[in-house]
Structure 1
Amino acid sequence: MNLSQAKPALRSIALTALLSAASMGAIAQAEKPQYGGTLNIGMVYVTLSPLSWDPADWAWKFGQDTGLMYEQLFAADLNKSIRKGGKHAFVADSWLPSDAIRGELAESWKTMDNPFRVEVKLRKGVMFPEKPGVMKARELVADDVVYSFTRLDKSPKKVPTYFDHVDKVEAKDKHTVLFTFKNYNAEWDYRFGWGYYSSIVPKEVTEAGAGNWKNANGTGPFMLSDYVQGNAVTFSKNNQYWDKEQIAGQPYKMPFVDKIVYRTIKDEASYLTALRTAKLDVLEGIRWSAVEELKKNAPGLKWKRSVDTGGTFVAMRVDTKPFDDIRVRQALNMAVNKQEIVQQYYGGNAVLFGYPMHPDYAGYYETLDQMPVAAQDLFKYNPDKAKALLAEAGLAKGFSFKVQVCSCSPDHMDLLPLVAAYLDKVNVKMEIQPMEYGAFLSAMTTKTNAAGYLMRNGHTNPTTSIRKSFVTKQTWNPSQYSDPEMDKRMAATYLERDESKRQLLIKLMTRDIVEKAPYIWLPTPIGYSAWWPWVKNYDGELRAGSERPGPIHARMWVDQTMKKKMGF
């Protein structure tokens, strides 16, 4: 046996001994945190570099890329996690249940009526650290919140209607911010609180150039210290950070590790190898097809399994022929054998019906058998009915159309040819156009996307899932769906304060939109996360706000002794 062969064997022996000791109770459940070391993390979107360092660009990945550095008014209460005896997994892309929200920069808040207002009291003594050439160290104040909101609101890249409910935001004193609304909005805390674009960025950073990573500076537990596009984002400990983590009833100063590196690895085989060889401590997004091999070759890994928080579909532009005809859209759904995709393509690691509502959305989600029959029929393989509908629409000889797909997704690059093969059987031809992510995203946001557009779109939360995808002229509406009646129903839902009534409204809209088939509805895959056992204070939680893992990662530490004993 040579040295390269011996190392894995020694690691396996060490791992077996460690796991045996753990099972006998040799490793205490409430471990004392260790400080120091580096965490290398492959996040959910490990193939994508940061899209922007400036929140005013309204880039959806902003919270994921900067959440260790920029903080928000609210975040997930991670003490309510399953790991800590709570009931929440914290994997949803942008869904914080009302019983699991804590103040981050907000120390407290209260709502008032006539008109509807929210008064937020900020924590005192929270500091922006010094950033040479950008700003001196100073305290976070209410004016920073007002400035951050106003800059977002005035951005030409703002999502349409996003802040239409806001009348004004003002600093009442140094640590008090008052939000006054034109009307109640069921998403007020999401839209500017723990949402995608809610980060508090100081004026000094924007004046220096918020788009330049070298100028970035926030109140969070880490500071951005290096960035190599297509490779890594490196964060270093902020020694002035204000928060503490309670472990076994004792407060500990955060953060625990000295550095966190978010790796960008575009090739699937490469990031799987990086995890297996412990060049990654955590990999948050793993396809089902890689799990068995990883478990065999890296048996020490710990795992979390969950239904993907994004829906997969082929959007069909309803403003172009022939997709302006509902019969055509329904026909293409019936032409695709979705049950076979679940069993054969995903190996059973998918749910047939998991979008636009997520199965985790208790009270909002309905199973497929609760849907109208016409909606259920779209998930049954029926090529004969598909051909009949196409004939009724005057397309008995079929047609062809272009479908754009992002080359950044190995899953989608494999899946789309399979969908094309099903459609070919009913004389519908796909021209597949792979695109780099920047061009792919731009096509949708500028509404120049092709008639077909295969994408994964995050559920976000129950109300936004319908609003962003099916309300007229919304940014994330690749089918260009437009129905004035649907727009009115959505507006009424946001005004409804009673959640049980909102749930009913969302259920009815979901039924209608599924039946009208602006998409070829595809199965929702089940994804996996994995991490090495030396990563502590963690159980596969993914998000503490909108695509924001920062508060989760900041609470993790590395058991250096265990890592060394395992041969890494």
Structure 2
Amino acid sequence: MKRGWGRSLGAIALGIGLLGGQSAAQAQSSGKPQYGGTLEVGTVYVTLSALSWDPADWNWKSNHDSGQFYEQLFAADLSKSKKHGGKHAFYADAWLPSDAIRGELAESWQWKDKPLRIEIKLRKGIMFPEKAGVMKSRELVADDVVYAYNRLDRSPKKIVGYFDHVEKVEATDSHTVVITFKDFFAEWDYRFGWGYFSGIYPREVAEAGIANWKNANGTGPFMLSDFVAGNSNTYTKNPIYWDKVKLDGTEYKLPFLDKVVYRTIKDEATYITALRTGKLDMLENIRWQNVESLKKSAPQLQWSRWLNMSGTFLSFLVDQKPFDDVRVRRALNMAVNKQEIVKAYYNGHAELFAYPMHPDYIGYYEPLDSMPESIKELFTYDPKKARKLLDEAGMPKSFSFKVQVCSCNPDHMELLPLVAAYLEQIGVKIEIQPMEYAAFLSAMTSRTMTAGYFMNNGHTNPTTTIRKSFTTGQQWNPSGWSDPAFDKKMDEVYRTRDEEKRQEMLKEMTREMLDKAPYLWLPTPYVYTAWWPWVKNYGGELRAGAVRPGPIYARIWLDQELKKKMGY
């Protein structure tokens, strides 16, 4: 049994007593970094096991699970985090501001013209560790980057249009990668620099069978040493890892930890108890309903609060009746009391309006009070007008449709019946169909979902949030929205070099989609992260690239003496 697993609440009380009543801030104060120990973490996706170990499967969660060992060209510059006096929280699922990107495998990069290209110089001396039955230890070279790109680009699961801007990727010498572009593309660094599918791996791993976790091998701070589906991912320290970190003027070799263990726990009560009793050192995803009880029973926990980086909505299949009629879609929006959901369901721990643009996207986000009246109307409870619109659309006094929802999301399982109750007041009934995550995701990707689909969708970043949700043929476009004129606007955004111009274009496109209501727009909740005071050099950061926490965990250390004093 793992150290600390199965401890009682009495041990926590003893630990608090041993701390002598010192404040959380004092308990969190960091001394000299320590090496060793195992970090037990319930991640942002604590209920979800790894979906695939092959980046070419194009699954959105790949970086989250493989980003400990598959590094990327770029990553977040964590020295600019708020805990180090910077301005960035690093919560966003896939948004790195331009002043917070560092080279990871890339040492430097430079734009050049005629042809339009970017030349990337790789760091020298970065090594793949030896992997029995897979490969000998060797240096990372430019051919590895080219191989990973080409394999991703040729995958039959590739997102439509994802690399259409790329003419070619080539290695011009052992440590230089050149990406030649057809046109300027505003998201070039995200798409294959630090994005969802950007992990760099060697040919040997692919040839050995990359889908088998036992063959995984990368240049990152940890190596995947065990995987039990539905239970845990175990990552062990890479002894030849290349990177270092400077703290208080002293440079330290990374990582500090011996192991990182992701715990997969589907039951909410179980993972809350695991944190409370010290089984988990960190839990990154806590609903507001659990916060006060945790603060009372485990007052030494450290906290951060963040506005969910995924929007919540009920998507309508707009190419099917009755949802091909905008009046029906608008009516269902007006029939739901969203202000009451914020106040009564979320107890104020939510924002009425924070999707598809996130308030953190400064320059791109417009608050509701700046929106046209026709959009404000969609967030104003008016069941009489809703029923009138349904009548105008020729809808019967009573009709029903099916809605699929993921049983993996406790919030959705509780919220959807509330939405159903509002809709029933205007004669609309929904048949709720809970599904396990794999089946739920498959329903969307195979386009076999029901007329209604209740989901979270990541904001991602200010451009992708619009592209993936509302342009033709995109996998993460659950409503099936398709408009050639809108697609053309999206293409123009990507080819516009001036960011201020892109911001205005995306504001206009956001207003257009809000007004057309392909979704029943719902509030965005706040989420909480908590960790024990023995977890050091951590301030609540969640991602250092697209859904990738690996570089964050590599910089954490454990105060093991404090942990023992607290009874663990």
Question: Distance between the aligned counterparts of 1:144 and 1:286, measured in 2?
Answer: 39
| Aligned residue pair count | 562
**Counterpart residue number, 1:113:** 113
Partner deviation per Cα, 1:195-235 (whole Å, 9 max, x = no partner): 00000011000000000000000000110000111110001
**Counterpart residue number, 2:492:** 492
Shift of 1:287: 0.3
Question: Distance between the aligned counterparts of 1:550 and 1:102, measured in 2?
Answer: 15
- What secondary structure is seen at the aligned counterpart in 1 of 2:542? coil
Question: Distance between the aligned counterparts of 1:412 and 1:219, measured in 2?
Answer: 38
**Counterpart residue number, 1:247:** 247
Question: CA contact under 8 A between 1:231 and 1:263: conserved in structure 2?
Answer: yes
Question: CA contact under 8 A between 2:63 and 2:199: conserved in structure 1?
Answer: yes
Are the structure 2 counterparts of residues 71 and 132 from structure 1 closer, same or farther at C-alpha, using a change threshold of 3 Å?
A: same
Question: CA contact under 8 A between 1:286 and 1:528: conserved in structure 2?
Answer: yes
Are the structure 2 counterparts of residues 104 and 429 from structure 1 closer, same or farther at C-alpha, using a change threshold of 3 Å?
A: same
Matches within 5 A, 1:250-399: 250-399=250-399
Question: CA contact under 8 A between 2:72 and 2:104: conserved in structure 1?
Answer: yes
Partner deviation per Cα, 1:496-542 (whole Å, 9 max, x = no partner): 00000000000000001000000000000000000001000100000
**Counterpart residue number, 1:161:** 161
Question: CA contact under 8 A between 1:387 and 1:396: conserved in structure 2?
Answer: no
**Counterpart residue number, 1:132:** 132
AA paired with 2:516? K
Are the structure 2 counterparts of residues 177 and 355 from structure 1 closer, same or farther at C-alpha, using a change threshold of 3 Å?
A: same
Question: CA contact under 8 A between 1:75 and 1:544: conserved in structure 2?
Answer: yes
Shift of 1:60: 0.4
Please report the RMSD computed on the Cα atoms of aligned residues, expressed in angstroms.
Answer: 1.2
Matched, 1:11 2:7: no
AA paired with 1:296? K
- What secondary structure is seen at the aligned counterpart in 1 of 2:48? coil
Question: Distance between the aligned counterparts of 1:520 and 1:15, measured in 2?
Answer: 49
AA paired with 2:100? A
Q: Could you state the TM-score of these two structures normalised by the residue count of structure 1? A: 0.98
Question: CA contact under 8 A between 2:406 and 2:412: conserved in structure 1?
Answer: yes
**Counterpart residue number, 2:171:** 171
Are the structure 2 counterparts of residues 326 and 16 from structure 1 closer, same or farther at C-alpha, using a change threshold of 3 Å?
A: farther
Shift of 1:5: 7.1
Are the structure 2 counterparts of residues 6 and 195 from structure 1 closer, same or farther at C-alpha, using a change threshold of 3 Å?
A: closer
Question: Distance between the aligned counterparts of 2:470 and 2:344, measured in 1?
Answer: 31
- What secondary structure is seen at the aligned counterpart in 2 of 1:412? helix
Shift of 1:449: 1.1
**Counterpart residue number, 1:537:** 537
- What secondary structure is seen at the aligned counterpart in 1 of 2:455? strand
Structure 1 gap segments, 5+ residues each = none
Question: Distance between the aligned counterparts of 1:6 and 1:39, measured in 2?
Answer: 22
**Counterpart residue number, 2:524:** 524
Matched, 1:219 2:223: no
Partner deviation per Cα, 1:22-47 (whole Å, 9 max, x = no partner): 64xxx795521000110001100100
Question: Distance between the aligned counterparts of 1:94 and 1:140, measured in 2?
Answer: 25
Shift of 1:446: 1.1
Q: Return 291-300 or 396-405, whichever deviates more.
A: 396-405
Question: Distance between the aligned counterparts of 1:388 and 1:304, measured in 2?
Answer: 44
Question: CA contact under 8 A between 2:307 and 2:525: conserved in structure 1?
Answer: yes
Are the structure 2 counterparts of residues 51 and 6 from structure 1 closer, same or farther at C-alpha, using a change threshold of 3 Å?
A: closer
**Counterpart residue number, 2:482:** 482
**Counterpart residue number, 1:501:** 501
Question: Distance between the aligned counterparts of 1:176 and 1:31, measured in 2?
Answer: 40
Matches within 5 A, 1:65-80: 65-80=65-80
Shift of 1:18: 4.0
Question: Distance between the aligned counterparts of 1:107 and 1:442, measured in 2?
Answer: 39
- What secondary structure is seen at the aligned counterpart in 1 of 2:315? strand
AA paired with 2:505? L
Question: Distance between the aligned counterparts of 1:365 and 1:518, measured in 2?
Answer: 19
Partner deviation per Cα, 1:111-154 (whole Å, 9 max, x = no partner): 11233211100000000000000000000000000000000000
AA paired with 2:245? E
Question: Distance between the aligned counterparts of 2:116 and 2:523, measured in 1?
Answer: 41
- What secondary structure is seen at the aligned counterpart in 2 of 1:99? helix
AA paired with 1:9? A
**Counterpart residue number, 1:32:** 32
AA paired with 1:67? G
Shift of 1:13: 1.2
Question: CA contact under 8 A between 2:12 and 2:298: conserved in structure 1?
Answer: no
Question: Distance between the aligned counterparts of 1:64 and 1:4, measured in 2?
Answer: 31
Are the structure 2 counterparts of residues 399 and 28 from structure 1 closer, same or farther at C-alpha, using a change threshold of 3 Å?
A: closer
Q: Return 98-107 or 114-123, whichever deviates more.
A: 114-123
AA paired with 2:46? V
Are the structure 2 counterparts of residues 170 and 378 from structure 1 closer, same or farther at C-alpha, using a change threshold of 3 Å?
A: same
Question: Distance between the aligned counterparts of 2:502 and 2:108, measured in 1?
Answer: 26
AA paired with 2:17? I
Shift of 1:19: 3.0
Matched, 1:123 2:123: yes
Question: Distance between the aligned counterparts of 1:477 and 1:448, measured in 2?
Answer: 13
Shift of 1:4: 6.0
Question: CA contact under 8 A between 1:30 and 1:247: conserved in structure 2?
Answer: no
Question: Distance between the aligned counterparts of 1:508 and 1:114, measured in 2?
Answer: 33
- What secondary structure is seen at the aligned counterpart in 1 of 2:463? helix
**Counterpart residue number, 2:3:** none
Question: Distance between the aligned counterparts of 1:97 and 1:115, measured in 2?
Answer: 27
Q: Could you state the TM-score of these two structures normalised by the residue count of structure 2? A: 0.98
AA paired with 1:12? I
Partner deviation per Cα, 1:439-491 (whole Å, 9 max, x = no partner): 10011111111110000000000000000000011000000001111101000
Shift of 1:494: 0.4
Matched, 1:187 2:191: no
- What secondary structure is seen at the aligned counterpart in 2 of 1:293? helix
Matched, 1:400 2:404: no
Question: Distance between the aligned counterparts of 1:223 and 1:356, measured in 2?
Answer: 36
**Counterpart residue number, 1:97:** 97
Question: Distance between the aligned counterparts of 2:104 and 2:496, measured in 1?
Answer: 27
Question: Distance between the aligned counterparts of 1:185 and 1:430, measured in 2?
Answer: 42
Shift of 1:565: 1.1
Question: Distance between the aligned counterparts of 1:214 and 1:474, measured in 2?
Answer: 32
